[in-house]
Amino acid sequence: MPLPVADLHCDLLSFLATVPQANPFDTDQIGCALPLLQAGGVRAQVMAIYTDVRPGSMDLARKQADIFSTLLQEHPETLCRMDSGFLKDYVTLPQIGMVAAIENAAGIGTEDASWKEIYAQFDLLLEKVGQLAYISLTHHTENRFGGGNYTEGIGLKEDGKRLLDHLAAKGIPIDLSHTSDLLAEGILTYIDSHHLPIPVMASHSNFRALWDHRRNLTDEFAKEIIHRGGLIGVNFFRAFLDDQRPEGLFDHLNYGAKLGPASISFGADFFYTKDFPDQSGYPFYFSLAEDASKYPSIISHLSQELSEGQMQKLAFENVFHFYQNLWS
């Protein structure tokens, strides 16, 4: 029987919110289309609410939260909420469990939003989606909360500290996948110095020790996440693996399984690529991991090197245990 899969990151919501004629069932449009998730044995999928840093980001975040709710309402035979009840009974449930996350806190608060507006937006998004798997303060660029992974010398800002305080009260994990190194360091230092009960993770990041890219985690940050009982979801995007070797994916997965066997997981990061500004990276995914239907063959390959117990942890148990503990 194929192993169930839990995946920590996809961009289905932003695809549906921004692409004309977007269809969650069209397997030619996006690698995380619902039939591809089903074919790959994905039982739990985190769906990111992604926004850029621009004046309309809060509106776009609300639109994606509405889409999340609509998917649940219109496709109950395919989708259900990933919550504590689902994690307990997933074996008997036929649906894919889905939970939302925030990728870039610009969707919570634009650069000129008041804190009254930010708190109201936060509560509204939670009301619409029910729970949040994690929040990333930034994406590639700088915002009012801190520096993104393509910025230099920009760490945690005062507004970022205030938002971390709010996350601590809500019990929502912080995601380091899109931070600058300085921001990641600032987040960890602030959490420790203020004794904040905030879980830490990297939802869709690989290892810089294997492929030197600023989107990848240094061993220092990877070990911090592991030490804190967090999760690291390996990203399938070719540029973050090894842009010449498809087997680089297995290198990162095996490396993570050895570095943190109770933390490693999948974070494939399938998104709509047809309007991607830089087409020089095409194909954006190697064929062995081009969409979610490839999970069984990926797991089969990994089983040649990892034990059955290691494979179960990687495929779904680490993610399920993390959220069972968080939401219990």
- CA–CA gap between residue 38 and residue 132 (Å, rounded): 22
- CA–CA gap between residue 2 and residue 32 (Å, rounded): 19
- CA–CA gap between residue 2 and residue 36 (Å, rounded): 15
pLDDT at 131 over 90: yes
For 30-48, what is the mean pLDDT?
Answer: 98
- CA–CA gap between residue 103 and residue 212 (Å, rounded): 23
Domain limits, the chain: 5-327
Say which residue the tokens 């919550």 belong to. Answer: 83
For 65-84, what is the mean pLDDT?
Answer: 97
pLDDT at 281 over 90: no
Per-residue pLDDT band at 322 (split at 50, 70, 90) = very high
- CA–CA gap between residue 285 and residue 196 (Å, rounded): 37
Q: Are strands 79-81 and 96-103 parallel, antiparallel or unpaired?
A: parallel
Class of residue 261 by CB neighbours under 10 A (exposed 0-12, middle 13-18, buried 19+): middle
Nearest to 243 by CA among 284, 272, 287, 214: 284
- Does residue 202 contact residue 232 with C-beta atoms inside 8 Å? yes
Burial of 139-166, coded b for 16+ CB within 10 Å and e otherwise, reads bebbbbbbbbbebeebbbbebbbebbee
pLDDT at 285 over 90: yes
pTM of the model: 0.97
Tokens of 302: 């990994």
DSSP for 167-229, please give it: HHHHT--EE-TTB-HHHHHHHHHHHHHTT----EEBTT--BTTTS--TTSBPHHHHHHHHHTT
Nearest to 172 by CA among 277, 100, 91, 223: 100
- CA–CA gap between residue 83 and residue 130 (Å, rounded): 9
Per-residue pLDDT band at 210 (split at 50, 70, 90) = very high
The whole-chain average pLDDT of the chain stands at 96
- Please state which of the ranges 90-94, 158-162, 262-266 shows the lowest mean pLDDT: 90-94
For 66-82, what is the mean pLDDT?
Answer: 97
pLDDT at 161: 98
- CA–CA gap between residue 236 and residue 162 (Å, rounded): 33
pLDDT at 190: 98
For 125-133, what is the mean pLDDT?
Answer: 97
3-class secondary structure, 35: helix
pLDDT at 233 over 90: yes
Tokens of 276: 């991607």
For 55-59, what is the mean pLDDT?
Answer: 97
CATH topology for 5-327 is TIM Barrel (3.20.20)
Q: What is the pLDDT of residues 167-206, one digit of tens each?
A: 999 999 999 999 999 999 999 999 999 999 999 999 999 9
Per-residue pLDDT band at 278 (split at 50, 70, 90) = confident
- CA–CA gap between residue 174 and residue 188 (Å, rounded): 10
pLDDT at 282: 85
pLDDT at 1 over 70: no
